[in-house]
Amino acid sequence: MLDILCVIPARGGSKRVPNKNMAEVGGRPMLWWTIQAALGAGLHPWVSSEADEILSYAIAHGALALRRPLELAADASSTESVLLHALGAAERKPWVMTLPPTSPLRTAETIQKVLDTPRGDAEALMTVTDYRGDLWQRCGSFLTRLQPAAPRRQQEREPLWEENSAVYLTNTMSLYMSQSVLGYGNVIGVPISRQEAWDVNDQLDLIVADALLKDKNHAV
């Protein structure tokens, strides 16, 4: 893709799951699944990390390696700072795609779906998941529904759309100006399944992702 820089942010540190991006799911390190999905969609991804193990693994499995400064690998480091570093140190392209390794069930077909979505005047595209839950908020001693007029039956409600962080595609100029992966808010949502949207943040998420990938591989 001539107009897209593909970045996989994969720092070495993680508090809830040690070395999370290299944790094994479905028989492979989590990073492997994202590299393969990107390659399968015709992209040549850059893996941004401060960790030697991750950078070496990226090169060995077909990705490009970009060493990021240690100050961009702290717990509080933003995704945007990593993307801006990649645009300056690797390649400057009109669009930048972010593929977090924490979405190992995201497929090449889903990445291609985002790439094929007409961008028009959008500043960003992101994958979203259909959400029909019934949310409540505290009001004094009681709870009140956020959408009191919504039908009680879930299947009769109009869906909300939950950001799931599997894929982001951001206009580079909007990223520079807004300092946000979503630009100033002109965002197109690309719906994907709940399974592909599964995001690994803790040990329970890791166990579920491992089970889903093993089941998927067994079915194939």
Predicted confidence at residue 2, as pLDDT, reads: 76
- Residues 70-97: b if buried by 16+ CB within 10 A, e if exposed: eebbeeebebbbbbbbbbeebbebebbb
List, for residues 42-70, the tens digit of each pLDDT value. Answer: 999 999 999 999 999 999 999 999 999 99
CATH numbers and ranges of domains, the chain: 4-219 (3.90.550.10)
Q: pLDDT grade, residue 1 (50/70/90)? A: low
Give yes or no for a contact between 59 and 35, defined as CB atoms under 8 angstroms apart.
Answer: no
Predicted confidence at residue 220, as pLDDT, reads: 40
Predicted confidence at residue 219, as pLDDT, reads: 47
Residues near 140 by Cβ (< 8 Å), separated by ≥ 6?
none
Rounded CA separation 114/188 (Å)? 10
Give yes or no for a contact between 130 and 190, defined as CB atoms under 8 angstroms apart.
Answer: no
- Mean pLDDT rounded to a whole number for the chain: 93
